Amino acid sequence: MNFRETRASKRVDPTLDLTPLIDVVFLLLIFFLITTTFVRSDNSQLPLNLPSASAGEAIAEGDRVIVYVSAEGGLQIDEELVRPEEVERRLERLFAERPETQLLIKGDKASSYGQVTDVIDKAREVGFKRVNLVVKRKNP
């Protein structure tokens, strides 16, 4: 009888268990999906449905202030909701801080024509030279 183990019987085939690796990859994927912040293209707190137009040109990048006018008459300047009587004072402050800035007006297509023109008029009185109306491009 031979009680010694031979080298052939001690040899274990090397295997690589991928299950823990797959678990870690899925956990990382879930972590990144949950912690990712999605960038909004528009910072409007007001619901807006912009009018469409086929004519127009792209607005150049640069320093800008956006005024949102909702269909219900709500006003927002950049990320701050404002009352109609505060618009002129807020625009004056913005113009004093950044006089070369561009003013963009995003008005809902159901908003009052008078309210949009009031914002334009107040912006011109304050001193803004570049005032633009933002619309969606109409599909041909």
Q: Is residue 11 part of a domain?
A: no
pLDDT value at position 92?
93
Q: Is residue 93 part of a domain?
A: yes
Beta carbons of 53 and 138 less than 8 angstroms apart: yes
Beta carbons of 75 and 84 less than 8 angstroms apart: yes
Question: Mapping DSSP to helix (H, G, I), strand (E, B) and coil, where does residue 60 land?
Answer: coil
Q: Is residue 1 part of a domain?
A: no
Q: Is residue 43 part of a domain?
A: no
pLDDT value at position 123?
92
Q: Is residue 102 part of a domain?
A: yes
Beta carbons of 87 and 122 less than 8 angstroms apart: yes
Q: Is residue 9 part of a domain?
A: no
Q: Is residue 66 part of a domain?
A: yes
Q: pTM (2 decimals)?
A: 0.64
pLDDT in tens, 89-137: 999 999 999 888 889 999 888 888 888 999 999 999 999 988 888 888 8
pLDDT in tens, 4-58: 666 656 677 788 888 999 999 999 999 988 888 776 566 666 777 777 777 777 7
Domain count, the chain: 1
Cα–Cα–Cα angle for 11, 14, 20, rounded to 5 degrees? 145
d(CA 57, CA 134): 10
Query: In CATH, what number is assigned to the domain containing residue 115?
Result: 3.30.420.270
Q: Is residue 121 part of a domain?
A: yes
What's the domain range around 68?
A: 52-137
